[in-house]
Chains A and B, each alone.
Chain A
Amino acid sequence: MSTIKSLDPRVTRFNIEEDDQSMQPLERRDYFETYEVFHQAKRGGRHTHVGSVHAPSPEMAFLFAKEQYGRRSTSTSIWVVRTSDIHTVGDEHSDMWENVPEKQYREAGFYKVRSRIEQFKKRHNDS
């Protein structure tokens, strides 16, 4: 069998057999389990969900997360949590998010008093 001759001397030095078919297929769990990653860019800011990593332990998940989601600009903290420890509501209950669209009474902008004050003052001055 011939080995790979590459432009990359490191690859050539590996003596990789060209047509080696002996690799066993990977099985599920060969890439461990997944962790969700929460990233804080600035002290005082929120931790935001940025994605996930595959890792064998929380410690390794943290290292991978730092490399994957914190290699640019600034980071002040990262949280990782096993995906399987996150609780979500399934699609079959999606109707629970349906809601009354009219919720102005919960908004600051709903409460307007100025015109009533102006009318009150006008009445007062006229009398």
Chain B
Amino acid sequence: MYGGGYIFDKPLQDHKDDDDPVKLAEFEARIDRGEKVEPHDWMPFEYRRQLIRLIEQHAHSEIIGALPEGTWITRAPGFRRKLALAAKVQDEVGHAQLLYNAAETLGKSREEMINDLISGKSKYSNVFNYPAKTWADTAVIAWLIDAGAIVNQVTNSKGSYAPYCRALERICQEESFHLKYGYDAVVHLATGTPAQREVLQDALNRWWPPIMHFFGPPDNASVHGEKLMRWKVKMASNDDMRQQFLNMYVPKIWELELTLPDPNLRKNPETRRWEYTEPDWDEFKRVINGDGPCNKERLAVRRTAEERGKWVREALLRPETQYSVPLS
């Protein structure tokens, strides 16, 4: 899973781009030809820096994203659902592994990334700072949050950095299972008893604002953004991805005779764009900066896993082990 937000950093104030102009021109020509960039190729300083940030946040989102749904594994209604949910949550942790590996090829160690996650320096997708209160929440997450993630990941998989593309290719295959599993769970509740429909509608109402936040605030094209687009680091605007998501999923939600808590939500037949009430972007900023319902718990759980697993890793570490970086 993955969500947008403040994925890309502002250009550094104190950094002068001292990229070799000849190498930069060769690099840009390679991108223009549609070629991919491999870990040991020359790349601009800013390309490397923004990609590390992007892939690292994506990895953190996968591993933290496993927590709200993981909560329900022990209480899943029935054995088949327990198996399926455990498989999905395991996939998400696997996605984090693949993505950390891809980020490591750019020169940031896995240990540094985990340190930055736990200290709060690195962010992860804002949606996971909200609680999964009922079983219906897990259905809504698996269907709609994963649907958003797929829109995002399919878009990013056309980018220029080869290790990230390779990881995303594998991830997207697994996400299609998540999406179908989630849709199945939603349809089960939506076509069930009035009580089942009610618990589903309630979950949908609570998840709609975070879902609207998912792709991040509208981004107005800055000079900086143009450069990232040109280098195929950023592949689509936040608003375009949000439109794509609404276009694909709102009709499917309405088909089940569920409602969405936004009276202004409609597709404008002339512009063919979706109109909606802007979600509360102040809340988004507040939550991403630590003040959401579950931020503390998410990081505390992650930190505890590291701390309580430390003695095991220490016991397994061989003295001759050399630090190394994944090949590709």
Residues 76 to 92 of chain A near chain B (Cβ within 8 Å): 82-84, 86, 88, 90-91
A127 to chain B, nearest CB (A): 56
Q: Which of A8, A31, A52, A67 contacts B111 (CB 8 A)?
A: A31
- A6: which B residues are within 8 A, CB to CB? 71, 297
Q: Which of B71, B110, B316 contacts A60 (CB 8 A)?
A: B316
Residues 281 to 312 of chain B near chain A (Cβ within 8 Å): 296-297, 300-301, 303-304, 306-307, 310
Please determine whether A4 and B300 come into contact, CB atoms closer than 8 angstroms. yes
B244: interface (CB < 8 Å): no
A25 to B115, CA, bound (A): 6
Residues 13 to 31 of chain A near chain B (Cβ within 8 Å): 14, 16-20, 23, 25-31
Residues 112 to 156 of chain B near chain A (Cβ within 8 Å): 112, 114-115, 118-119, 131-133
Q: Given A28-B109, A28-B111 in contact, is the A90-B40 Cβ separation under 8 Å?
A: yes
Q: Given A36-B327, A52-B101, A56-B317 in contact, is the A7-B131 Cβ separation under 8 Å?
A: yes
B323: interface (CB < 8 Å): yes
- B115: which A residues are within 8 A, CB to CB? 25-26
- B321: which A residues are within 8 A, CB to CB? 29, 32-33, 56
Question: What class of interface size applies to chain A in its complex with B?
Answer: 35 or more
B33 to chain A, nearest CB (A): 15
B222: interface (CB < 8 Å): no
Please determine whether B323 and A23 come into contact, CB atoms closer than 8 angstroms. no
CB-CB nearest 8 A-B residue pairs = A26-B111, A52-B326, A56-B316, A8-B71, A33-B324, A25-B115, A91-B40, A28-B323
A57: interface (CB < 8 Å): yes
B277: interface (CB < 8 Å): no
A27 to B324, CA, bound (A): 13
Q: Given A31-B313, A60-B316 in contact, is the A20-B300 Cβ separation under 8 Å?
A: yes
Interface string of B83-115 (1 = CB under 8 A from A): 000000010001001100100100001111011
Please determine whether B317 and A29 come into contact, CB atoms closer than 8 angstroms. yes
A29 to B322, CA, bound (A): 7
Instruction: Using CB atoms and an 8 Å cutoff, list the residues of chain A in contact with chain B.
Output: 4, 6-8, 10-11, 14, 16-20, 23, 25-34, 36, 49-54, 56-57, 60, 67-68, 71-72, 82-84, 86, 88, 90-91
Please determine whether B324 and A84 come into contact, CB atoms closer than 8 angstroms. yes
A90 to B112, CA, bound (A): 26
A14 to B323, CA, bound (A): 32
B193: interface (CB < 8 Å): no
Most buried by A among B300, B303, B307: B300
A71 to B92, CA, bound (A): 13
18 pairs of residues in contact across A and B, judged by CB atoms under 8 Å: A7-B133, A14-B304, A23-B306, A25-B111, A26-B111, A26-B115, A26-B306, A30-B317, A31-B109, A32-B313, A32-B316, A32-B317, A51-B166, A51-B167, A53-B97, A67-B94, A68-B94, A82-B324
- B132: which A residues are within 8 A, CB to CB? 7
Closest-by-CB residue of A relative to B42 is A91
Closest-by-CB residue of A relative to B72 is A8
Please determine whether A16 and B300 come into contact, CB atoms closer than 8 angstroms. yes
